Amino acid sequence: MPETADGFEHTFLPGRVVLGAGALDRVAAEVETLAVRRVLLIATRSARDAADVVEVELKDRFAGRIDGVTQHVPTEVAENARAKAREVNADGVVAIGGGSAIGLAKAIALATGAPIVAVPTTYAGSEMTPVWGLTSSAGKTTGTDPKVLPRTVVYDPVLTLHLPKNVTAASTANALAHCVEAVWTPKADPITETLAVEAARALTTGLRAVLQEPTDVEARSNLLYGACLAGQAFANSGSDLHHKLCHYLGGTFNLPHAETHAVVLPQVTRAKAPTVPRAKARLEEALQTSDLATGLFDLFAEAGIPTSLKQLGLTQDQAQDAAKAFDADDIVTRAWEGTRPEGAVR
Ligand code: NAD
């Protein structure tokens, strides 16, 4: 990417964001603004109480509900959801939950064009992207379609107060992966870099505070704000080695999505960040560390996230396959062993 703002191309994605404690009560009004008349409500199990509130507030705009979602959107789950949307004659979807709930809403939107109002309860960031994913026995298929980009995103930190510490930490690492890699992809530009730096600041500050006090509403708000910016940076700049490697590891060896990001990110950062010195320095300032890769490694280790692919269940042979597939022996070996990058830290 250019070291100055002299020349770049950037496409702003459309979409409206509402963030605040109690914002859940705004969902019905946002649905009305979109002129949606019949809502299919999708809620992850832990968001059932929130979905009850929205169901009542939607009044006669409520058309039907799906409780409980499955990770990675299996095709049969997507087909059932599309059938349900047809059966209740839905012309819009409200999804409350993490990337899995929002992913299911995207599967419906992909087939029908129904607008989505997303109410994220993790930091996965899917709500800010036009990327969809479906899994079948043949593996995971992903694609990009503007139809699946949520029209409105409502972030309510109150919904996240009881997100378990381990899920909080891993999901924050997933968001940090979005914003950190956004600075070195071929499509990175000064706007994505600025989004990424502010995202990293908010995510790091938020995570440190939430680890001390999980029900700190301000810290939870910071994490959602960071996830929003990180998702936007990722949507603009696309994937590079880190996301491709994690996608391969998760899809081929069934490793947990967010934890895989946490293990791999410091190792890819160690190799890639020196190629973008200005962004590296800005991200180090945001994380308050003197070495980005080491700072990420230590942040995740302190948050109790596994630090090696070995701990996540990957065998050494599988690691060697991944290393060959990406010609990234050093990165994968270090990630498998959980080697600390060992740069200086502040
Ligand atoms: P998830 O939605 O499966 O949620 C993780 C766990 O947290 C689940 O057990 C869920 O029930 C629980 N949970 C969620 N919110 C909670 C809350 N507020 N309180 C208590 N528990 C809660 O996982 P995720 O990490 O949010 O998302 C991962 C999925 O999203 C993957 O399938 C990934 O591929 C996809 N994703 C897609 C994009 C995209 O741009 N399309 C981006 C990031 C992730």
CATH 3.40.50.1970 is right for the domain spanning 23-155? yes
The pLDDT confidence band at residue 138, using thresholds 50, 70 and 90, is confident
Q: Is 10 in the pocket of ligand 1 (CB under 6 A)?
A: no
Distance (Å, whole) CA 55 – CA 34: 17
- pLDDT tens digit sequence for 284-337: 999 999 999 999 999 999 999 999 999 999 999 999 999 999 999 999 999 999
From 167, 172, 232, the mutation candidate for ligand 1 (largest count of ligand atoms within 8 A of CB) is: 167
Q: Is 105 in the pocket of ligand 1 (CB under 6 A)?
A: no
**Cα dihedral sign for 152, 71, 163, 260?**
negative
3-state secondary structure of 117: strand
Q: Say whether pLDDT at 131 is over 80.
A: yes
Q: Is 77 in the pocket of ligand 1 (CB under 6 A)?
A: no
Q: Say whether pLDDT at 145 is over 90.
A: yes
More confident residue, 305 or 2: 305
- pLDDT tens digit sequence for 82-95: 999 999 999 999 99
- Spell out the residues 6+ positions from residue 343 whose beta carbon is closer than 8 angstroms to its own: 270, 290, 291, 292, 293, 294
- As annotated, the residues of the chain forming the CATH 3.40.50.1970 domain(s) are 23-155
Residue type present at position 144: T
CATH 1.20.1090.10 is right for the domain spanning 165-337? yes
Q: Say whether pLDDT at 269 is over 80.
A: yes
Q: What is the DSSP letter of 20?
A: S
Structure token digits, residue 208: 């440190």
Residues 340, 299 contacting (CB under 8 angstroms): no
Q: Say whether pLDDT at 209 is over 90.
A: yes
pLDDT of residue 43: 98
Q: Is 171 in the pocket of ligand 1 (CB under 6 A)?
A: yes
**Which residue from 315, 320, 340 is spatially nearest to 332, judged by alpha carbons?**
320
Q: What is the DSSP letter of 147?
A: G
- As annotated, the residues of the chain forming the CATH 1.20.1090.10 domain(s) are 165-337
Residue 295's H or E segment, with its range, is helix 292-302
- Spell out the residues 6+ positions from residue 285 whose beta carbon is closer than 8 angstroms to its own: 197
- pLDDT tens digit sequence for 44-55: 999 999 999 999
281 C-alpha vs ligand 1 centroid, how far in Å? 30
- Beta carbons within 10 angstroms of residue 186's beta carbon: 8
Q: Is 269 in the pocket of ligand 1 (CB under 6 A)?
A: no
